[in-house]
């Protein structure tokens, strides 16, 4: 089992890594399957983060990138509303359609959210809804800040 970059808003692994994993029979744990919380729709302002929250300076959560990325969340939320699912469940339900070798492990400190997130397996998305999710533009901004990005793949 390996883990690499993210879900719905970071699709680069699909071309670069997943084919090799499948050839070798290795499972995949997508990194931060809820986009560090953004894909849950609960984060609308970085001002709400405590000062020691690393997302406050992460490129995807700052400035114009953050506002552009909220548009991705809005579409996830709209599709969730159509099927009676929360945005978190919708993002996870999409991930669960990506193959039996893909095992998302969302992070949360709350039991109620574990229950909400695990219920994603029973959410059925239509072909049209999956196509809309597949067409979402990639996240604006690098996944990590400059220092962390420089340390990746070394
Ligand atoms: N990100 C990293 O650097 C890193 C490194 C090593 C391993 N991992 C592993 O990767 C997995 C997940 O990564 P992650 O925690 O960074 O990102 P994630 O799963 O994409 O998002 C987790 C965030 O989403 C929130 N959340 C979870 N479920 C929610 C829901 N239903 N509604 C609203 N908010 C919800 C959590 O807040 P609450 O906690 O307040 O619910 C938390 O802030 C974990 O297993 C983690 O241990 C991550």
Both tokens of 148, joined, read 């962390």
How, if at all, do strands 2-4 and 28-30 pair? parallel
pLDDT at res. 2: 52
DSSP letter for 141, please: S
Q: Is 117 in the pocket of ligand 1 (CB under 6 A)?
A: yes
> Does position 11 have pLDDT exceeding 90, yes or no?
no
pLDDT digits (tens, 9 = 90+) for 51-68: 999 999 999 999 999 999
- Residue 15 domain flag: yes
Q: Is 89 in the pocket of ligand 1 (CB under 6 A)?
A: no
The owner of tokens 């000062």 is 51
- Residue 83 domain flag: yes
Q: Determine contact, residues 104/30, Cβ cutoff 8 Å.
A: yes
Give the structural domain span for 135. Answer: 2-143
Q: Is 40 in the pocket of ligand 1 (CB under 6 A)?
A: yes
CA Rg value for the chain: 15
Confidence tier at 7 by pLDDT (50, 70, 90): low
Confidence tier at 47 by pLDDT (50, 70, 90): confident
Q: Which atom of ligand 1 is nearest to the CA of 117?
A: 31
Confidence tier at 148 by pLDDT (50, 70, 90): confident
CATH of the domain at 59: 3.20.20.100
- Residue 138 domain flag: yes
Identify the residue with better confidence: 67 or 9: 67
Structurally, how many domains does the chain consist of? Answer: 1
């Amino acid at each position: 089992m390996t883990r690499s970059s993210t879900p719905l808003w970071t699709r680069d692994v699909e071309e670069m890594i997943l084919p090799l994993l499948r050839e070798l029979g290795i499972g995949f744990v997508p990194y931060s399957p809820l986009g560090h919380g953004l894909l849950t729709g609960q984060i609308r302002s970085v001002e709400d983060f405590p000062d020691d929250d690393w997302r406050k300076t992460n490129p995807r959560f700052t400035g114009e990138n953050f506002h552009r990325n909220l548009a991705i969340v809005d579409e996830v939320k709209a599709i969730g509303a159509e099927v009676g699912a929360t945005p978190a469940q919708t993002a996870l339900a999409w991930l669960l359609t990506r193959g039996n070798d893909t095992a998302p492990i969302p992070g949360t400190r709350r039991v109620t959210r574990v229950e909400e997130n695990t219920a994603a397996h029973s959410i059925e998305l239509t072909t049209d809804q999956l196509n809309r999710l597949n067409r979402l533009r990639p996240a604006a901004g690098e996944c990590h800040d400059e220092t962390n990005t420089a340390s990746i793949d070394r």
